[in-house]
Amino acid sequence: MEEVIKIEGGHLLNGKVRVSGSKNATVALIPACVLGNKPVRIYGVPEISDVDALIILLEELGVQVIREADDTLYIDPLGMENRPMNSEAVQKLRASYYFMGALLGKYGRAEIKMPGGCFLGPRPIDLHLKGFEALGAKIDYRDGCYIIEADELKGTRIFLDISSVGATINIMLAAVYAKGRTIIDNAAREPEIIDIATLLNKMGAKIHGMGTSTLVIDGVEQLGGCFHEIIPDRIEAATYVLMAAAMAEDMTIENVIPQHLDAILSKLSEIGINLEIGSDFVHVFGNDPKGELRPTEIITKPYPGFATDAQQPFTPLLTRARGQSMIRENIYGERFKHMDELRKMGANTYVRVPDGFVYGPTPLKGAKVRATDLRCGAALVIAALMADGETEIHDIYHIDRGYDNLDKKLRSLGAVIWREEVEDDPDFKQN
């Protein structure tokens, strides 16, 4: 048996929805907490399966973790031990690689299996490893595990060939205890990096230049504990704004930092969506869910450009645009698997990597589809809300990795969505 999400399309959305804490920040903040020697309390933790996997990993290291409330984690590393990380939980999420930097920084040694997560094409961690080597670490790969160790980490200047979010964070985690000053040039500028650096600074780190392409980390001898509230999830916010653009009469998305969504909100205005942008909310109103939109071109870029995570949820909306819309994916070449699934629902799409094309307008119809990754799942939920009839979404564990209480939030807005156990269909999985 398999649990699926079913959605009856065509129901208009109305009301308010509150965005949860950032998934992409949370999965790095939790490993960062083990760098200290005192408890850390994090507020705004989303209820997602990635957090469950990280808690398992913390407990395997001897870290005490307590869920004090629905959105609060208490993390006490006092009894922590540096053990090899080779359990199944490591392979359930890509963000487990942040323990490389955290353990290397704290103990001078990390042993960890190759991490898992959504397959979005090659996502090598060579930039992470080069950064560790620049700090003085030696790296070996044996029996599927990375072994990274250093007698002493020393600050240095590191230039990233690509402004990688993961590499920026991982090098920062390792460098907080390195002797001297570490400078990361061409560092990623995403809001999540600022949030993680803010947490570390509260713990006693000395990190400067957050939000710029040059990060400066002055090594310290010890870190303590702190209280920290996670920033709102900009991709969850974008997803609900896109849901509103697709199917809302009058809907407000709350707990938003609008400047984090500038590129997406500008693109929505360009294609013809009415928006009101407040200090911490986005209000979508006065749109015709059956009306035609203007075609557009989307080009994904590192922050503050159009987020790669948002191009998939944006795609269903383009089925309402007259003419050709183009999406150029500059970050992850495999982020077009949703196009195949949308075709099952009647979309007219074509992919020639790095470009994807949507031709419209084409009405969508309910179908049996598969969430091939997290943001593909979000795209299919939006398409299902728009579609005529019932849609059945499989492999929903991808959706649960990154969206907090999706079903509950959508039902509160008027969507008809539920979960159901169905018989496994091997033939469908192979298609």
- Here the CATH number for the domain that contains residue 270 is 3.65.10.10
DSSP code string of 242-257: HHHHHHEEEEEEES--
pLDDT in tens, the chain (431 residues): 999 999 999 999 999 999 999 999 999 999 999 999 999 999 999 999 999 999 999 999 999 999 987 799 999 999 999 999 988 888 778 889 999 999 999 999 999 987 654 444 444 688 999 999 999 999 999 888 899 999 999 999 999 999 999 999 999 999 999 999 999 999 999 999 999 999 999 999 999 999 999 999 999 999 999 999 999 999 999 999 999 999 999 999 999 999 999 999 999 999 999 999 999 999 999 999 999 999 999 999 999 999 999 999 999 999 999 999 999 999 988 899 999 999 999 999 999 999 999 999 999 999 999 999 999 999 999 999 999 999 999 999 999 999 999 999 999 999 999 999 998 877 776 66
Token readout for 137 is 């670490």
* Residues with Cβ within 8 Å of residue 340, at least 6 apart in sequence: none
Same domain membership, residue 96 and residue 216: yes
pLDDT at 125: 87
- The dihedral region occupied by 175, where left means phi > 0, alpha psi between -120 and 50, and beta the remainder, is alpha
Considering the domain architecture, whether residues 198 and 281 belong to the same structural domain is answered as no
User: Are 180 and 250 in a shared domain?
Assistant: no
Q: How far apart are the C-alpha atoms of 173 and 176, rounded to whole Å?
A: 6
- Quote the pLDDT of residue 70: 77
Instruction: Work out how many domains the chain is built from and give that number.
Output: 2
Name the residues annotated as catalytic: 118
284 and 189 inside one domain: no
Strands across the sheet with 13-18, in order?
13-18, 248-254, 281-285, 275-277
* Residues of each annotated binding site: 23-24, 94, 123-127, 309, 331
Whether residue 225 lies inside any domain: the answer is no
279 and 242 co-located in one domain: yes
Q: What pLDDT is attached to residue 199? A: 98
What pLDDT does residue 119 have? 46
Annotated binding site for phosphoenolpyruvate: 23-24
Residue 56 amino acid letter: I
Same domain, 178 and 304: no
198 & 345 share domain: no
State residue 118's pLDDT score: 47
Give the distance, in angstroms, between the CA of residue 197 and the centroid of all CA atoms in the same chain: 18
Residue 59, domain member (yes or no) = yes
DSSP per-residue codes, 88-99: GGGGG-GGGGHH
Residue 352: phi and psi, rounded to 5, are -140, 90
Range of the domain at 77: 23-220
CA 359 to chain CA centroid, Å, is 28
Residue 184 and residue 129 share a domain? yes
